[in-house]
Chain A
Amino acid sequence: MIQTVLDIVAIRKDFPILNRKVNGKPLVYLDNAATSQTPQQVIDAIVDYYSNYNANIHRGVHTLSQEATDAYEQARIKVQKHFNAEKAHEIILTAGTTHGINIVANGFAAILQPGDEIMVSALEHHSNIVPWQMLCERTGAILKVIPMNLEGELVMAEFHKLLSDRTKLVFCNHVSNALGTVNPIEEIIDSAHKKGAAVLIDGAQAAPHIKADVQQLDVDFYVVSGHKMCGPTGVGMLYGKEAWLQKLPPYQGGGEMIAEVTFEKTTYADLPHKFEAGTPNICGGIAFGAALDYMNAIGFPAIAAYEDELLQYATEKLLAIEGLKIYGTAKEKTAVVSFNIEGIHPYDIGSILDKLGVAVRTGHHCAQPIMEFFKIPGTVRASFSFYNTKEEVDVLVAAVEKARAMLL
């Protein structure tokens, strides 16, 4: 087993919220897949923005506006560098993953013909299913689903069978939020491209753990949320290849996204502004940049290795509890353990864990089709971050044991 190279004690000091008590108990925050906590460095960036240079961007002649514009565009470049996009204008700063997906879905409404096919995976988050259903209703395109197996892995043989010349678009998450499965997106992207289909990868759950290189992946679109990677809520990224972004029509109309407006005709601004109508989340964008700086300073390989250690440890300890079953046992997984105890509703376990200071998610995790597949109402999901510790895993395990004793 790889030994921890991170200085977890020092890292934890960066996160003020980790000192909190919940119901009189020290907070054990294991709901990182829903949203991550925010380090002081990012909080400082937010405070600095509002304390020193809050102004609207891209339109002012005054100093504050210049400073805010520079900082915002700097943040875009940080995002570009992080995901290794070729050009800064291929980075659209969005409100988050859902927003990015909707920009692409809306754009494809102008491209798809009746009878065209869109493929989604069975492992999707609702935000990655509903926009495509809406798109199919609008265009007459047909939705195909890549099935999953009992381990929570995509059945790639079926994917290859479903893929055809009619396939125009494939959507898949890089990592499943409900189960933590890392999907073989390289294979999906390569095969889809061979049939001329575009690929959108939902990186919301991958981005906190894996640094994706969009050029190496050759992916057409990649979307993430800042709030899952130590940034604030309400900001995210849509990466799109330049050619695609030029081809897609804008999503929302408004200020910032126009070049020229007359009542006869408006011409759209160049990328990325074409997709950034209205005043954006300026502070959020800047803080997102600060979050990437923070995570990169720690280093993604070290983060991934340490989280994997936590995952192995938690898996082993939890499986020792009688009647506990883990859902999602893919070979490639991020630090997510989705589980149930036989005869107990996940919601009951979650309620007791909360009383013991342990924050987990319970329910269907916005992935009802997955729950239906396993014929369960939901799971308890513990999701780990690099600031969690083995001691916290022990607290979780003891709390689950206590809940089991109370509830059975």
Chain B
Amino acid sequence: MLIRNETYCTFGQNLAMSIKEIQEEIIDEFSMFEDWMQRYEYMIELGKSLPMIEPQYKTDDNIIKGCQSKVWVHAELEGDKLVFTADSDAIITKGIIAILVRAFSNHTPMEIIEADTDFIDEIGLKEHLSATRANGLVSMIKQLKLYAVAYQTQLN
């Protein structure tokens, strides 16, 4: 059974939710899966629905190092909120980044800087990834946080 969360698939449009609340929602969703297969299927679905990065941002500068597949991330301020768009040439990687984008996008840089990342461990993502992909995941989180720091400096 594949559980599909409508809120999720419209990409966390519930803008009132805090990062913490979104993370809890993700943990809830993942707790419903019985095996890795369902998790993977879900991540693949997420990957397919990730808001695509604009082609002009798919540059080498925006590539995150440390992934076997390519990952591009772009960040832009909309009002006081930081919005992430991303893409990858591998679909499971795209699913992973989709989870991260959902958790962190549409929040202020300060909220992103201060956000916890324990939910990654709680959804058991790392243990289901190969070592290179788990490293890639760490690099992705670091990159999102770095963007937040950069924009926070600008806001100051």
Q: CB within 8 Å of B: which residues of A?
A: 23, 344-345, 347-348, 350-352, 354-355, 362-363, 377-378, 406-407
Contacts and interface: CB of A to CB of B under 8 A. Distances in A.
Contacts of A363: 68
Contact of B44 (A355, A362, A406): A406
Contacts, number: 41
Contacts of B91: 344-345, 348, 407
B68 A348 contact: no
Nearest to A363: B68
B41 interface: yes
Contacts of B128: 355
Interface residues of B, number: 17
Contact of B69 (A347, A352, A354, A407): A347
B92 interface: yes
A344 B93 CA distance: 12
A407 B93 contact: no
Nearest to B36: A355
B133 A355 contact: no
B65 interface: no
Contacts of A362: 68
A347 B68 contact: yes
Given A347-B133, A355-B40, 4 more contacts: A347-B93, A350-B130, A351-B133, A354-B130
Nearest to A356: B37
Nearest to B41: A406
A76 to B, nearest CB: 36
B3 interface: no
A140 to B, nearest CB: 32
A23 B36 contact: yes
Contact of B90 (A23, A348, A355, A406): A348
Contacts of A352: 40
Contacts of A23: 36
Contacts of A351: 40, 92, 129-130, 133
Given A345-B91, A351-B92, A406 B40 contact: yes
Contacts of B40: 351-352, 355, 406
A22 to B, nearest CB: 12
Given A351-B133, A354-B130, A377 B70 contact: yes
A363 B90 CA distance: 12
Specify which of A345, A355, A406 lies most central, judged by the most chain B CB atoms within 10 Å of its CB: A345
* Nearest 9 CB-CB pairings of A with B: A345-B90, A347-B90, A347-B69, A348-B90, A348-B92, A347-B68, A348-B91, A345-B89, A355-B36
Contacts of A345: 69, 89-91, 93
A378 B129 CA distance: 19
Contacts of A354: 130
A49 B91 CA distance: 48
Interface in B100-147: 128-130, 133
Specify which of B36, B92, B130 lies most central, judged by the most chain A CB atoms within 10 Å of its CB: B92
Given A345-B91, A347-B93, A355 B37 contact: yes
Contacts of A406: 40-41, 44
B92 to A, nearest CB: 5
A345 B133 CA distance: 14
B39 to A, nearest CB: 10
B44 to A, nearest CB: 6
Contacts of B129: 351
Contacts of A347: 68-69, 90, 92-93, 133
A377 B37 contact: no
A344 B90 CA distance: 7
A378 B68 CA distance: 10
20 contacts: A23-B36, A344-B91, A345-B89, A345-B90, A345-B91, A345-B93, A347-B68, A347-B90, A347-B93, A348-B69, A348-B92, A351-B129, A351-B133, A352-B40, A355-B36, A355-B128, A362-B68, A363-B68, A377-B70, A406-B44
Nearest to B90: A345
Interface string B69-97: 11000000000000000000111110000
Contacts of A350: 130
Contact of A377 (B36, B89, B92, B130): B89
Nearest to A343: B91
